[in-house]
Amino acid sequence: MKTKMAMVFGLAGAYLLHSPRTFAQAAPQQNAASPSAAVAMILSDRDIDLMRRDIRSQKKQIVASSLKLTDSEATKFWPIYDQYTQEQIKINDQKFALIKQYTANWGTMKDDQAALYVRQWLEVDEATTKLRSKYVPIVGAVLPGVKTATFFQMDRRIGMMADLQISSQVPLVQDQQ
């Protein structure tokens, strides 16, 4: 499983690091010329969409190979997994919209915008937690407790690793000055 997870995040890292310099490295230099130039350093919507599809596909493969399900369990679990993923996509859409908004304002961000960004980021985190909480009993109704816990451990671990990859590419607010 470690090899598979490393493969997923290697893929994510490759997409995020497709240019020789990361956003965090380039942005302070871009600030002097134009605050909106920082947006150009972030991946295009198409790149992000492709990365997200690849990660979702890899994630499903990891779950399928790591979560040992009986045929009966699999028949019940996978439609729930797909429904969960669709709801997760909506939350991730909010996350990527927030990142785009942040990069659009980076370089000219004021205190009130920075505070709003933090509140909105916490709302996205809260939505993710609520979604998982909603699905624990749903998954638990079709899988034994150990398999349910294992699935949510894997889901959380993969989500945290993806967030770390993305967050490492976004510069700190204080670096805009």
pLDDT tier, 44 (very low <50, low <70, confident <90, very high otherwise): low
Residue 11 maps to a domain? yes
Residue 177 maps to a domain? no
12 vs 139, higher pLDDT: 139
Q: What is the mean pLDDT of the chain?
A: 77
For residue 148, what are the domain limits?
2-172
Assess whether pLDDT exceeds 70 at residue 28: no
Residue 135 maps to a domain? yes
| Total domains, the chain | 1
Assess whether pLDDT exceeds 60 at residue 40: no
Distance of CA 153 to the CA centre of its chain: 15
149 vs 164, higher pLDDT: 149
**Cα(133)–Cα(135) distance, rounded to whole angstroms?**
5
User: Above pLDDT 70, what percent of the chain?
Assistant: 71
Residue 124 maps to a domain? yes
In eight-state DSSP terms, residue 70 is -
Assess whether pLDDT exceeds 80 at residue 10: no
Mean pLDDT of 69-90: 96
| pLDDT value, residue 116 | 92
Q: Kindly report each contact of residues 1-9 with a partner whose C-beta sits within 8 Å and lies 24 or more positions away, as own/partner.
A: 1/62, 1/65, 1/66, 4/58, 4/61, 4/62, 4/65, 4/66, 5/62, 5/157, 5/158, 5/161, 7/58, 8/55, 8/58, 8/59, 8/62, 8/158, 8/161, 9/161, 9/162, 9/165
C-alpha angle 62-64-66 in degrees, rounded to nearest 5: 65
pLDDT tier, 9 (very low <50, low <70, confident <90, very high otherwise): very low
Residue 136 maps to a domain? yes
Assess whether pLDDT exceeds 50 at residue 109: yes
Mean pLDDT of 112-122: 91
